[in-house]
Amino acid sequence: WEEEGAYRLEADLPGVEEKDIKLEFENGLLSISGEKKASSEKQEKGHLRRERFYGQFKRSFRLGQEVNGDKIQAQLKNGILVVTLPKKEESKPKLIPIAS
């Protein structure tokens, strides 16, 4: 969503660790990619069951040239990735005084 002076993006990434997420911003395009790995093992009544899960993901968002790529911030907390994308100063609306 758009806030005053910035855009904010939230992505639900349950079970994905920070080290497995890659954020890139180039020419107005923000890309979020990563992979999720998990495994489980259960032994009961003379048999053993092992499962492994693996999956990759990638999403891209066209944001234009009004985002200040040098000041992008990202935080991962409780499986939610929050990316704050500040707008460049020149892209913010400016009030023009009216002379009388």
Residue 43, exposed/middle/buried by CB under 10 A (0-12, 13-18, 19+)? exposed
How far does Cα 5 stand from its chain's mean position? Answer: 18
Angstrom distances, CA of residue 48 to CA of 4, 27, 39, 51, 53: 55, 51, 13, 10, 17
Task: State pTM to two decimals.
Answer: 0.74
Q: Are strands 80-86 and 21-26 parallel, antiparallel or unpaired?
A: unpaired
The pLDDT value given to residue 38: 81
Confidence of residue 91 (pLDDT cuts 50, 70, 90): low
Residues β-bridged to residue 52: 39
What are the pLDDT digits (tens) for 7-65? 999 999 988 889 999 999 998 899 999 998 888 888 888 888 888 888 899 999 998 78
CB-based contacts of 99, cutoff 8 Å, min separation 6: none
